[in-house]
Amino acid sequence: MKTLSVTTRANQELVDITGEVQGAVRDLGIEDGVCFIYTPHTTAAITINENADPDVKRDILKGLDHFQLEKVDFAHMEGNSPSHVKSSLVGCSQAVFVEGGRLLLGTWQGIYFCEFDGPRTRKVLVKVLGGAEPCRKKALQRKTGRGGDNQL
């Protein structure tokens, strides 16, 4: 597992961490599997969305603000319930397939750390679980003395 450090500069901000996550996947050295991207915070989140037009990340924040959560009479004494609700709405993790050491993101997709109660320095955990196919292939080769994809 790799731990990324993300320093946010605003109270609410989406930070593109695609390059850092891809770097962590490369460092972890697992070529094929599933990459989990998880943030262990209660007022932050991880999402995947368009990274071509910077207006999209602004619009995501604007869309969440449209709920007008600051007008709700929440009970939580700390006063940051809108941030907690946004964290739960967006979610604290994502999973992306990895093949040949590369994240299988779409052409227009980027991975974003979502800050809802900043600015702060935050953690993002990245772990790749290796796929089972090579193990199945080896087991089949032992059993049959042959190999080949068409037998799976």
Interface residues with Zn ion (CB under 5 A) are 78, 80
Compare residues 20 and 117 and give the one whose CB is closer to Zn ion.
117
φ, ψ of residue 39 to 5 degrees: the values are -115, 125
Take residue 149 and report the two structure tokens written for it: 């994809």
Output the residue with the shortest Cβ distance to Zn ion. Answer: 78
- Output the smallest distance, CB 102 to Zn ion, in A: 37
CB of 69 to Zn ion, least distance (A): 13
Which of 35-61 are b and which e, b meaning 16 or more Cβ less than 10 Å from the residue's Cβ? bbbbbebebbbbbbbbbeeeeebeebb
For residues 36 and 130, the answer to whether their CB atoms sit within 8 Å is: no
Smallest Cα–Cα separation from 117: which of 148, 90, 138?
Answer: 90
Residue 83 CB, shortest distance to Zn ion, in Å, is: 7
Closer residue to Zn ion in complex, CB, 57/86 = 86
Nearer to Zn ion, 80 or 109 (CB): 80
Q: Find the shortest distance in angstroms from Cβ 8 to Zn ion.
A: 17
- Residue 7 burial by Cβ neighbours in a 10 Å radius (0-12, 13-18, 19+): exposed
Judged by beta carbon, residue 11 or residue 144, the one nearer Zn ion is 11
